Chain A
Amino acid sequence: MDVILLQILNGLDKGSAYALIALGLTLIFGTLGVVNFAHGALFMIGAFCSVTLQRILSWSFETIDPDKTDFLGNPATVKTPYVVEWFGESTGLAIIDWSVPLAILFSIPIMIAFGFIMERGLIKHFYKRPHADQILVTFGLAIVLQEVIKAFYGANPIPTPAPSAFTGSFDFGLLLGFAENTIIYPYWRMVYFAFSLVVIGGVFSFLQFTTFGMVVRAGMADRETVGLLGIDIDKRFTFMFGLAAAVAGIAGVMYAPINSPNYHMGMDFLVLSFVVVVVGGMGSLPGAVLAGFMLGILESFASMNIIKSFIPGIDQIIIYLVAILILLTRPRGLMGRKGVMEE
């Protein structure tokens, strides 16, 4: 029982990331009809927004300390961050400590602008081209983006710690009457899960309860009619692209403390998120969220040693296996609508 609970909890944070990326992916597909393989790269860029802000906040001036020596035996330079100089030691260090949550604010305008430029500058020209072309161009873009990041930040992962208030883990087991240390779960992952629920809730309410969202949904259902009513649906869809980019971006920002960002993290998530979208049903938002969490949790279970001992390597293929099973039994995915990608 405790093992099962543990793995469900474990699947939640990974599921959250899948769900957030898949949400943006399916949003773009549903509105613009584009299969955006650069979406994982947007997640990665979000994570690097965390890294960048952390670096900006840690920007330091150097003073020479004659008492210390560097690795060559010369007098060492001591770095003092400007924020510490300006705001005093305690406030300055607290600002650096909280760089990841602060990076959410930092990343949103960047990601929206990035989404706009990407859509207007490149993807727009591929609306009328076959899906294969769209996949190729966005996949190419993803490779370019990750190489650019690698050129600037190097290939090794960059540590981006969560605020020190969130270090350590919570003992769920004690709460449920298990022995100590049976079910533990890091605080930051709880934050990530809660954060993803808020973002998913926000996106759904935006689409459900605002006029803008209503028009977008109408456009997703029947683009032509909405256009005939005199509404510039393309402009709204461009905005949705920006929104989807921002969702992927902040998902990446908050994920940075869970796994130190590296240039390749987008690709790692992209393929899985794409499977999540297909399993959830192309163009279905609730499907993407449901499938995201479901596959995250299944993946967690599959990496248990007891299951791996029955079927070796199952942890590497479980997601694809489930995808095959679901597509065999429900070809439109879990919550796919009729008519999507079927013309």
Chain B
Amino acid sequence: MSKLLTTRRSVLRTGAAAGAGLAMPTIFTASSVAAFTNDPTGSSVTLGFNVPQSGPYADEGADELRAYELAVEHLNGGGDGGMMNTFSSKVLDGTGILGKKVEYVTGDTQTKSDAARASARSMIEKDGAVMITGGSSSGVAIAVQGLCQEAGVIFMAGLTHSNDTTGKDKKANGFRHFFNGYMSAAALAPVLAARYGTDRTAYHLTADYTWGWTQEESIAAATEALGWNTVEKVRTPLASTDFSSYIAPVLNSGADVLVLNHYGGNMVNSLTNAVQFGLREKVVNGKNFEIVVPLYSRLMARGAGANVKGIFGSTNWHWSLTDEGSQAFVRSFGTKYGFPPSQAAHTVYCQTLLYADAVQRAGSFNPCAVAEALEGYDFDGLGNGPTHYRAGDHQCFKDVLVVKGKENPENEFDLLEIVEITPRAQVEYAVDHPMFAGGDLGSCNGGA
């Protein structure tokens, strides 16, 4: 015989618990009070800087963090103001963002997608970050961008160069200031053709992940359009450290150019290996053998030492630029830290100012209002000349630097020399370009 267990008390208890559970605001569901995720109600606003603090890109992460700290200092009215003084928009006045003091929390992406998502989620849920930014890998950027879209916060990408970030994986809440593989190729290929001729045969070694694939596709297409042949495309595992077995067959293949679609440690090691094999002293098909590194980073070039001399590549920004904005940033950063900023530091500094500026202009931290303020925005004075944030895919369009490893560096930071500043018009493409097609920006998510 069963006894009726339901009592008035237990019903009340269960009901109260269920009610409390339902009323609890979570980041992925609407809260009845706030209009969007992490609406800053106090006197300060929290930004989330998600950078690799450990793992292979920790040095770039550290440089990004320095730039973020500098940006926060400038936004709050400290320091010399850096690029805020040269920025074409004048709505930022050193009193924080919308009068709220800027504070920040940091997360460690470890250059792993799952770790990066976890740290971003923690900054959103626990620390109330209203915007997430940073990173030094496209795999990570795409993963975190997806999370921010679901969570209803803005994602201002750091160093990410894969076409997919603003291509097939683009998201309405994500914005990229950094350039991409297509732009690198469009800028670099004509310079290569001019220096090395149009009758060349290229051999590609490519890091086997999203960035490598799109970089390889871009540079192969751009050089082939100018008459080059591609003899082989070899994918190398991201974890590779010794590339000798991939490089040894290159000379035998009839190729006279080796394109290294590698970044970070991969680039340092594959380039060092290629130089060890004496490729650059060889003459193939009656021409000097050449090596090309489509995406350069000064921090990485330092790792490759003298091996980078004379090798062409592209970069988003370089400290030796002489425009007003770049000089203000180098002065401000150099005075504070004692060395010039990297391109990673530059892009994240710009992203922080651009976000703050957009909020200020929109008059709200609401991601949808911020996104609207960024879309189609034209600005100048941030070191890359006149720049356009395209509404259709949230990609910035600006001039691209073609660089070359410097033959006679004057100091330890003087590793790259600027060969050409490729005008923006030459690197532009349609939103539905085949290399970027397949994705959907969707609509902005404010989390409410």
Contact = CB atoms under 8 A, between A and B. Distances in A.
22 contacts: A11-B245, A14-B242, A71-B340, A71-B414, A150-B58, A155-B54, A155-B59, A157-B265, A157-B303, A158-B303, A159-B272, A167-B278, A169-B278, A182-B251, A189-B244, A257-B276, A299-B245, A300-B244, A303-B246, A308-B235, A315-B237, A315-B245
Interface stretch (B3-11, B92-100, B158-166, B304-312): B304-312
Categorize the interface residue count of chain B.
35 or more
Contacts of A168: 278, 281
Interface stretch (B182-190, B211-219, B328-336, B396-404): B328-336
Interface string B216-254: 000000000000000010111101011011101101100
A188 interface: yes
A259 B57 contact: no
A2 B239 contact: no
A3 B335 contact: no
A10 B244 CA distance: 7
A262 B56 contact: yes
Contact of B234 (A182, A299, A305): A305
A260 B243 CA distance: 12
B268 A156 contact: yes
A157 B330 contact: no
B284 interface: yes
Interface in B44-71: 54-59
B268 A155 contact: no
A30 B54 CA distance: 35
B330 A71 contact: yes
B276 A186 contact: yes
Contacts of B32: none
Nearest to A162: B276
A189 B334 contact: no
B131 to A, nearest CB: 26
Nearest to A313: B237
Contacts of A315: 237, 245
Given A181-B252, A265-B241, 9 more contacts: A71-B339, A154-B58, A154-B59, A157-B269, A159-B302, A159-B305, A258-B244, A260-B303, A262-B56
Contact of B232 (A13, A184, A265, A305): A305
Nearest to B244: A10
B252 A156 contact: no
Given A156-B268, A159-B307, A259-B269, A76 B244 contact: no
Interface in A218-234: none
